[in-house]
Structure 1
């Protein structure tokens, strides 16, 4: 079975808000997720994360450390999503997504996150815990 690898960027600002994107194809109901996507063959996981943040949000990021790897299976792929803590080092909100999937970029607080329609519902518990703890802050 073929391996698909991707990243999800985690960034909590000093107001305890999480960087998130509202996404989906034109036919889909739009849902919220962390910025991220699939790794190209010629890049590292960290490079993928930084590229995806740039494309989906307009922010220039620096990968700090890997926090978690989610393993799942979506036939015909084994899927690994690397959750990477990032720091924003420049840029501003500006959607540059070549896949044209991103509708909106926002900083989301804990009370808003509680009721959002997430692309990956299994992420909610961990993201809520991260916001409750104050997360590992990153610059905005």
Structure 2
């Protein structure tokens, strides 16, 4: 089974950190920073390594959010807050083409690498908005 982790980062303006990814031969699509777990790595460590490689940002895992599994693939999504770094593509695989902060209204119109994640991603904005009105 392939295992990986994804970093879900919302900024103070309620925008989601996303990367435009794909091989040169395929259509580029948007996703949250994510990638495969290496031997001996925890899911949390994988999440933060992928965040750094794909975006240049450093972060801290706040909490687990969601596990997506279909029997062949397991991806664990974590809420992450930024602790440092700066926006720059450092992807050793050369699959990341752009980094951007996207508002909720923009995400519905993006070509997503994992379209099945859309309801989950949109729910994050709703959760963030409801926590700010308390």
Q: For this structure pair, what is the TM-score category when the shorter chain's length is used for normalisation? A: over 0.9
5+ unaligned residues in a row in structure 1: which ranges? none
| Pairwise CA RMSD | 1.6
- Count of residue pairs brought into register by the alignment: 131
Give the direction of change, closer, same or farther, for the CA distance of 1:101–1:135 in structure 2 (3 Å limit): farther
Give the direction of change, closer, same or farther, for the CA distance of 1:116–1:125 in structure 2 (3 Å limit): same
Establish whether residue 12 from structure 1 lines up as the match of residue 10 from structure 2.
yes
Q: Which residue of 2 aligns with 1:103?
A: 97
Q: Which has the higher contact order (CA 8 A, sep 6+)?
A: 1
Q: Quick one: distance in 1 between partners of 2:60 and 2:128?
A: 19
Given candidates 29, 32, 35, the residue that maps to 1:31 is 29
Mapping of 1:1-140 within 5 angstroms? 3-73=1-71, 78-134=72-128
Q: Quick one: distance in 2 between partners of 1:132 and 1:117?
A: 21
Q: Deviation per CA, 1:23-81, whole angstroms, max 9, x where unpaired?
A: 000001000001010000121111100000000000011112111100114xxxx2110
Scaled by the length of structure 1, the TM-score of the pair is 0.89
The alpha carbon displacement at 1:128 in A equals 1.1
Scaled by the length of structure 2, the TM-score of the pair is 0.93
DSSP-derived class of the 1:105 partner: strand
DSSP-derived class of the 2:88 partner: coil
